Structure 1
Amino acid sequence: MTQEEKYNLAKWAMQHALDSGADAASIVISESKSSTVDVREQKIDTLKEAIQSSLSVRLFVDQKYSAHRTNRLDKQELAHFIEQAIAGTKYLSPDPYRQLPDPALYYQGNGQELGTVDPSYDKVDPATKVKLAFDVEKEAFEKDERIISVSASYSDNTNSRLMVTSNGFEGETKNSSFSLSASVSVNGGDARPSEGWYERAIFFDQLKKSEIGSLALERALKKIGQEKIKSGKYDMLIENRAVSRLFYPLLSALDGYSIQQKNSFLIDQLGKKVASEKLSLVDDPLIPGGLGSKLFDGEGLAAKKRTVFDKGVLGTYFIDTYYARKLEMEPTTGDTSNLVFELGDKDLASMVKGMKKGILVTGFNGGNTNGSTGDFSYGIDGFLVENGEIIQPVSEMNISGNMKSLWMSLAELGNDPNPISSWQIPSMLFEGIDFSGS
């Protein structure tokens, strides 16, 4: 459908909902394309393409709320779908907190171009996609006698999301993404270590297309000989691509749902110091070419740059309209965008050189965090470091503690923000973390 056709259909569906008994409505029309190529042992394992279109409707009827979705976009079928949805909504329990956002908070249009979609997406032909996957696999295939298996993947997707609401919002977002990855497992005696590497970009021309398979192999071989070490307190340096596993519980504690459900260890902490002064970051949705850039969020609220932490002081929660009303707070947004950290001045190698005795963590295995208390336990993969040198690979070790004390122990950030994520997290060094053999 053209943009005009999508807007016409969305407005028709919205008006039909109002005419059929809804007090308010929000309509979203989504379109997406994707393709995937998986190769293994120099053969194509998966070759997939998909095109999808759907219409979603959020209905507000007599202080009752429901959400519905269909991929049948014929008007006659949609009319029946909407009427049935409204009839079903009337049987639900009232929820007076369910309302559309204040129109004054909506994105008003005419925003800057953020460069979130590759206009040449459809010009990448299937043969190129297959070749790229095989090229990545070839970088590792049969390059070492200890290799057990090598696999590689190419994937891409593009999507658009057009939304209209009965209280005045209109807007559309478009995104694209391309990725290449490799996974390698090797024979390490009793163990069979495996590792991977992944690259991602909004634009095909900016996607890194080499050294993916070779990096996956190199990382897997380095894990041969993993073993437990003596339990105790060690400094912990976490590679940038792995830090998100420990950062996610901290971010989840800022979510409106977690706060309202009393499942957050950061309730009533706005304006208070909850982490080391080394932790400063902003949520900036307006970065051109950012992987998380957007002009408005999933409700239509205008995207704004916000300080999340300033030298460890909590600056904002992530609260959508619904939970803002329940908590009697002002809505911010229910979604993150580009999380940009204040960086240090060392790369990962230099940070390793500066460690007297500690563990470089390159990945996590299982584990969880209690959202209410912040208590956590996670399995780790990594390397023992002594006097700035990597001594041996480490596995079958757990870290445990509390999120509040963990983030207070943050001692240093690297200058290497993760380039393949909207969470631009650098490598991080934490002091005095409890490690134990599993």
Structure 2
Amino acid sequence: MTKEEKYTLAKWAMNHALENGAQQVSVSIANSESSSVEVREQKIDKLEQAIQSGLSIRLFVDGKYSAHSTSRLKKEELARFIEEAIEGTKFLSEDEFRTLPEPELYYKGDGENLDLLDENFSSIDPKEKIDLAFAAEKEVLDKDDRLISVSCSYYDGLNERVMVTSNGFEGDTANSHFGIYTSVSVNGGEARPESGWNESAIKYDKLKKEGTGRIALERALKKIGQQKIESGTMSMIVENRSVGRIFGPLINALNGSAIQQKNSFLIDKKGKKVVSEKLTLTDDPFLIGGRGSRLFDGEGLVTKKRAVFNKGVLETYYIDTYYGKKLNMEPTSGGTSNLVFETGNNDLEGLISSVKKGILVTGFNGGNCNGTTGDFSYGIDGFLIENGEIVKPVSEMNITGNMLTLWANIGEIGKDINENSSWLTPSVLFNNVDFSGL
């Protein structure tokens, strides 16, 4: 189905809903393609390919709201589907806060091309994809006698969507992604250390096609001999690819749903200094080729570049239309785009060299954070640092504390950005973190 055909069908579905009792309607039609191959022991272990399409419709009927989706796109079937959905919606409870966004907040078109789609997605040779997975495995096989197992995967995906609403919005999106992932386990005596490494890109020719196997093996071997060390309060460096685990609770606390439900430790904190002045963070939806780039969000709200934290001061919340009405706040957007950190001067090696005694955290094992209080406890893997050098691997240790205290104690933010995510996280050095071990 072409983009024009999607628009035609979406508008027909919208009008059919209006004609049958809905006062407001939002319709999206999306299609996706994906493939993946996993190899193990020099054989293809799993090969998958999927092509999907479907329609989603949001209905506002007599002050009541419901959302529905279907993969059956023939008009006669859709007509019955929509009519039954409207009748079912009439049995729900009224919710005065459920409406479409105000029209003036919509994206109006003519935005810059954000370059999020590989136009050659469908022409990539399937054999080439399989060969990439086998090449990653070859980087590991016969490289070390301690190797127990290796699993390598290639994956990709394409998503296209059009959306229309009954109060004036029309917009479409298209994006693609490609990736390679390798997981390795090795013999470490009583333990079986594991590690993985991933590379991804929006366009196939930008994908780093070598190195995942080699890096995964190196990281697994470095874990051999992991053990607990004595409990204590010391510095902590969190590697860039793992920062999201402890940064996520801060972002979750900014969501309108968490604020309205009193499940946020950042309620009534806008305009106040809540974390270290070393944290300056911008939500930038307009990065060309950015993993989270977009001209409008899932509701059709036009996106804007926003400061989230400015030298530790909280500048914005993530508020969609529904929770904006409940909280009597202006909607911004229901979620993040690209999160861009103001970086420091040192890469990971530079951060390590600055630490007299501490732990470099390379992964988290379980744990949780209380959304209401910000109190957390996480298991960690990593390495002991003494006098600026890595001494030995550690594991089966926990960190405990409070999110606001942790992020108020930033020692330094690195410059080594993780570009494999829409959260462009650098490594971060924290002071005075409580570690529990022996």
How far has the Cα of 1:316 moved from its partner? 0.3
Q: Deviations over 1:201-224 (max 9, x none)?
A: 000000001111000000000000
How far has the Cα of 1:39 moved from its partner? 0.6
Whichever residue aligns with residue 179 of structure 1, its letter is G
2:411 paired residue number: 411
Measure the CA separation in 2 of the matches of 1:46 and 1:376. Answer: 38
Where 2:276 maps in the other structure, the secondary structure is: coil
Q: Deviations over 1:361-414 (max 9, x none)?
A: 000000000000000000000000000111100000000000110110111111
Q: Deviations over 1:139-196 (max 9, x none)?
A: 0112111111001000000001110000000000111000001000001111100000
How far has the Cα of 1:354 moved from its partner? 1.0
Measure the CA separation in 1 of the matches of 2:404 and 2:414. Answer: 21
Whichever residue aligns with residue 426 of structure 2, its letter is P
Corresponding position: 1:429 with 2:401: no
2:101 paired residue number: 101
1:251 paired residue number: 251
Superposed, 1:213-228 pairs within 5 Å as 213-228=213-228
Measure the CA separation in 2 of the matches of 1:248 and 1:40. Answer: 33
TM-score when normalising by structure 1 = 0.99
Structure 2 gaps of 5+ residues are none
Measure the CA separation in 1 of the matches of 2:58 and 2:306. Answer: 28
Measure the CA separation in 2 of the matches of 1:23 and 1:411. Answer: 54
1:156 paired residue number: 156
1:333 paired residue number: 333
Measure the CA separation in 1 of the matches of 2:379 and 2:127. Answer: 40
Where 1:87 maps in the other structure, the secondary structure is: helix
Corresponding position: 1:312 with 2:312: yes
Whichever residue aligns with residue 314 of structure 2, its letter is L
Measure the CA separation in 2 of the matches of 1:407 and 1:110. Answer: 39
Where 2:270 maps in the other structure, the secondary structure is: coil
Whichever residue aligns with residue 94 of structure 1, its letter is E
Q: Deviations over 1:13-61 (max 9, x none)?
A: 0000000100110000010000000011111011111000000000000
How far has the Cα of 1:125 moved from its partner? 1.1
1:140 paired residue number: 140
Where 1:241 maps in the other structure, the secondary structure is: helix
Measure the CA separation in 2 of the matches of 1:378 and 1:117. Answer: 37
Corresponding position: 1:3 with 2:3: yes
Whichever residue aligns with residue 64 of structure 2, its letter is K
Where 2:242 maps in the other structure, the secondary structure is: coil
How far has the Cα of 1:123 moved from its partner? 1.4
| Alignment: residue pair count | 438
**Runs of 4 or more off by more than 6 Å in structure 1?**
none
Measure the CA separation in 2 of the matches of 1:194 and 1:4. Answer: 48
How far has the Cα of 1:4 moved from its partner? 1.1
Where 2:240 maps in the other structure, the secondary structure is: coil
Whichever residue aligns with residue 389 of structure 2, its letter is E
Measure the CA separation in 1 of the matches of 2:236 and 2:166. Answer: 52
1:110 paired residue number: 110
1:343 paired residue number: 343
Measure the CA separation in 1 of the matches of 2:259 and 2:41. Answer: 48
Whichever residue aligns with residue 229 of structure 1, its letter is I
Where 1:407 maps in the other structure, the secondary structure is: helix
Measure the CA separation in 1 of the matches of 2:196 and 2:343. Answer: 26
1:285 paired residue number: 285
Measure the CA separation in 1 of the matches of 2:165 and 2:149. Answer: 51
Corresponding position: 1:124 with 2:124: yes
Measure the CA separation in 2 of the matches of 1:413 and 1:155. Answer: 32
1:52 paired residue number: 52
Measure the CA separation in 2 of the matches of 1:315 and 1:200. Answer: 31
1:390 paired residue number: 390
* Identical aligned residues as a percent: 64
Whichever residue aligns with residue 402 of structure 2, its letter is N
2:174 paired residue number: 174
Superposed, 1:366-405 pairs within 5 Å as 366-405=366-405
How far has the Cα of 1:137 moved from its partner? 0.8
Whichever residue aligns with residue 393 of structure 2, its letter is P
Corresponding position: 1:323 with 2:330: no
Measure the CA separation in 2 of the matches of 1:309 and 1:142. Answer: 48
Q: Superposition RMSD on alpha carbons, in Å?
A: 0.6
2:266 paired residue number: 266
Where 1:259 maps in the other structure, the secondary structure is: helix
How far has the Cα of 1:431 moved from its partner? 0.2
Measure the CA separation in 2 of the matches of 1:355 and 1:140. Answer: 33
Whichever residue aligns with residue 42 of structure 2, its letter is Q
Whichever residue aligns with residue 370 of structure 1, its letter is N
Whichever residue aligns with residue 320 of structure 2, its letter is D
Measure the CA separation in 2 of the matches of 1:234 and 1:392. Answer: 16
Measure the CA separation in 2 of the matches of 1:4 and 1:334. Answer: 28
2:242 paired residue number: 242
